[in-house]
Amino acid sequence: DTGVSQNPRHKITKRGQNVTFRCDPISEHNRLYWYRQTLGQGPEFLTYFQNEAQLEKSRLLSDRFSAERPKGSFSTLEIQRTEQGDSAMYLCASSRLAGSYNEQFFGPGTRLTVL
């Protein structure tokens, strides 16, 4: 396994701009998750996919956020009209199977700074 990869690793943007992040999960992993982590906090769940279907979205995911996994492989997370409160580390994780016993493998994250 090559691991979960995320791009870009860092993104600095001005308030009001749109940003898009990409996550490439471990191949053959059906589940893909997005989390957000702010300083001094644990990761907080945003959304997850089973193949290309988005199965759950957190209340944290406002209308400005959208996530896709068009072919059941990589995923994108877009934030429109960014706000300073969106500054955080955005983490992607994948797991091979459904079920709470399955380990989620995390990528290195994308650190977003909104000026």
Partner 1 sequence: AQKVTQAQTEISVVEKEDVTLDCVYETRDTTYYLFWYKQPPSGELVFLIRRNSFDEQNEISGRYSWNFQKSTSSFNFTITASQVVDSAVYFCALPSEKLVFGKGTKLTVNP
Segment interacting with partner 1 (CB under 8 A) among 17-25, 61-69, 70-78, 94-102 = 94-102
Q: CA–CA distance from 12 to each of 79, 86, 107 (Å)?
A: 13, 11, 19
Q: CA–CA distance from 56 to each of 36, 41, 113 (Å)?
A: 15, 22, 26
Q: Does 65 bind partner 1 (CB under 8 A)?
A: no
Identify the residue among 17, 18, 41, 62 touching partner 1 (CB under 8 A): 41
Identify the residue among 20, 30, 45, 96 touching partner 1 (CB under 8 A): 45
3-state class (DSSP) for residue 28: coil
Q: How far is the CB of 66 from partner 1 (least distance, A)?
A: 18
Q: How far is the CB of 11 from partner 1 (least distance, A)?
A: 14
Residues 20-39, interacting with partner 1 (CB under 8 A): 33, 35
- Judged on CB neighbours under 10 Å (0-12, 13-18, 19+), 7 is middle
